[in-house]
Amino acid sequence: MTRLSVEMLAADAVEPITSAGHAQLGIAVLAGIAVIVLLITRFKLHAFLALTIGSLALGAVAGAPLDKVIVSFTTGLGSTVAGVGVLIALGAILGKLLADSGGADQIVDTILAKAGGRAMPWAMVLIASVIGLPLFFEVGIVLLIPVVLMVAKRGNYSLMRIGIPALAGLSVMHGLIPPHPGPLVAIDAVKANLGVTLALGVLVAIPTVIIAGPVFSRYAARWVDVPAPDRMIPQRASEDLEKRPGFGATLATMLLPVVLMLAKALVDIVVDDPTHMVQRVFDVIGSPLIALLAAVIVGMFTLGRAAGFTKERLSTTVEKSLAPIAGILLIVGAGGGFKQTLIDSGVGQMILDISKDWSIPALLLAWLIAVAIRLATGSATVATISAAGLVAPLAADMSTTHASLLVLAIGAGSLFFSHVNDAGFWLVKEYFGLSVGQTVKTWSVMETIISVVAGGLVLLLSLVI
C-alpha cells in the first residue's frame, strides 16, 4: 500500500494543467470549495453532483482547459474508487455477514455487558486504536462502523459519544504511527529511525487520542445530538435463528484482516528485502484487498454457516450488503476527483513555493507546511509526503530523536481540519447520517484537535529530549 501511495504521488507530480499565478490559484481553490458548500447547504444538491460541479468551477477559475480538468477529475475519481471502493464493498459484505448471522449482536452484547456507562467511550477508543494500528483509515471505518452504530442504538448512547472516540483512535494511528503509508514514507524521506519514531509516536498518540476522543466526544455529543441512522444500522439478527456464532469466532473473523496486515508490516521490517520469498508472500496476503477478501470468505463459514445459513441465504446476504453503499462510493470517488483537480492545478506546488521563504523552527515549519497542503488537497498522505520532501534537508543535522519528531510533526499537520475535499469527510458524513455543518462541528473539529494537540506535544518533546 505504501508503494502504491508513492506511485500515485509520482503520477500526481506532472505538469500542472494551468499556468495560473499563485493569486489566481488561491482564488480558484476558494471558489471551488465555496461552490461545493453552497450547492450542498443552500440548494440541497447531492454531494456527488456538487463535488463534480465544484471541480469544474475550480478549473475554470484557475484558467485551465476544461477538457484537462475533466481528465483530472475522472482520473482522481477512478483511482479513489479503485483504491477505496473495493475495500468499502468487502467491508460492507463482512459487516452484513456479521449482522445477519448474529455475530455483531454477540460482540455488542458482550461489550455492553463488560463496559457500560462512562467506560464505553474509553472501550471504543481502545478497540479502534488496536484495530486501526495496521489498517488504512477507510478500512478501519468500514470494519468498525457497524459495531459503533449498534452500540449507540442498543445502549441508548449519543452517536457522537461513541463514534468520535472510535474515529479518533483510527485517525491518530493513520497520521502518526507506522506502518501507515504516510509516516513510513516520511521516515524514509528524512532518514529517521523507524523504531524510535514508533516509540515516540505511541507516546504522542496516547494523550492525543484521549483528548480528541473520549474528552472531546462529551462536547461533540452536546453540539450534534443525532441518533444512529436507521438505514446504516445492521438490523438485529432475527430471533428465529437457532444459533449464532460465538464471541471468540466472531472477534477472530473481525481481527483476521488486522492480523494479516500487521504480519505484513512486521515481515517488511524484519526481512527488509523485496525479492525475498517470505516478504513477497506477505506482501500479497497482507494487502488490504486480500486481507479483507480472506475475512469475507472465512466469515461465510465462521459466521454464516455457524448461524445455519444455506448457500442461497449467504448469496442473498452478500447481494443485499452492496446496495446501501452505492451512494457512498460515488461521493467518496467524487471527493477523490476534486482532490486530484486541486493537485493537478498546481496548488500543492504553490504552497511549497510560498513556504520556502518562511524562517521559523524546523518542526513548526514542517507542521505548517503539512497543514497548508492538507487544507488545499484534502489528502493526509499527499500532505505528509510533500512536506517530508520539502523539509528533508533540515533533518541532515538533527539527532535521531529529533528526526523522528520531525516525522511526527509532519504527520500531525497532515490531519488538520478535514473538510469537503477529503474523502474521509464524506465517509463519516454518510455513515453517520450527518449534514455538512454537523460533520464540520464534529469530525472536522476532532481532526483539528488531533493535529494541534499532537503538534504541541511534539514541540514539547523536542524541548525535553
Mean pLDDT of 328-349: 84
All cell numbers assigned to 282: 506477505
Confidence of residue 1 (pLDDT cuts 50, 70, 90): very low
Mean pLDDT of 298-327: 90
Is 190 or 70 the better-scoring residue by pLDDT? 70
pLDDT confidence of residue 12: 42
Find the DSSP H helices in 81-136: 86-100, 103-114, 119-132
CA 427 – CA 422 distance, rounded (Å): 9
Confidence of residue 2 (pLDDT cuts 50, 70, 90): very low
CA 83 – CA 350 distance, rounded (Å): 27
CA 143 – CA 292 distance, rounded (Å): 10
Does the pLDDT of residue 134 top 80, yes or no? no
Q: How deeply is 286 buried, as exposed, middle or buried, from its count of CB atoms within 10 A (0-12, 13-18, 19+)?
A: buried
Give CA angle at 187 (189, 421), nearest 5°: 80
Most confident of 13-22, 337-346, 443-452: 443-452
pLDDT confidence of residue 404: 93
Side chain identity, residue 418: S
CA 100 – CA 305 distance, rounded (Å): 11
Does the pLDDT of residue 372 top 90, yes or no? no
Does the pLDDT of residue 6 top 60, yes or no? no
Q: How far is the first Cα of the chain from the last one, in angstroms, to the nearest whole number? A: 32
Mean pLDDT of 101-105: 83
pLDDT confidence of residue 122: 92
Confidence of residue 237 (pLDDT cuts 50, 70, 90): low
Does the pLDDT of residue 136 top 80, yes or no? no
Give CA torsion, residues 413, 417, 418, 420, to 10 deg. Answer: -130
**Each residue's pLDDT tens digit, 242-265:** 788 988 998 899 888 888 887 887
Residue 65 CB contacts under 8 Å (≥ 6 apart), including other chains: 17
Does the pLDDT of residue 8 top 60, yes or no? no
Does the pLDDT of residue 171 top 50, yes or no? yes
Does the pLDDT of residue 111 top 50, yes or no? yes
Percent of the chain topping pLDDT 70:
94
**Each residue's pLDDT tens digit, 30-84:** 898 889 878 887 888 888 898 899 999 999 999 999 999 999 999 989 988 887 7
Give CA torsion, residues 342, 347, 352, 355, to 10 deg. Answer: -120
pLDDT confidence of residue 240: 62
Looking at every residue in the chain, the average pLDDT score rounds to 85
Does the pLDDT of residue 11 top 60, yes or no? no
DSSP class of residue 224 equals -
pLDDT confidence of residue 135: 66
pTM attached to this predicted model: 0.75
Contact 136, 173 (CB under 8 A): no
Side chain identity, residue 9: L
CA 367 – CA 116 distance, rounded (Å): 38
Contact 244, 102 (CB under 8 A): yes
CA 258 – CA 133 distance, rounded (Å): 8
Closest CA to 462 of 411, 410, 405, 400: 405
Contact 265, 230 (CB under 8 A): no
Please report, for residues 8, 94, 180, 201, the alpha-carbon distance to residue 3 in angstroms, rounded to integers and kept in the order given.
9, 26, 11, 22
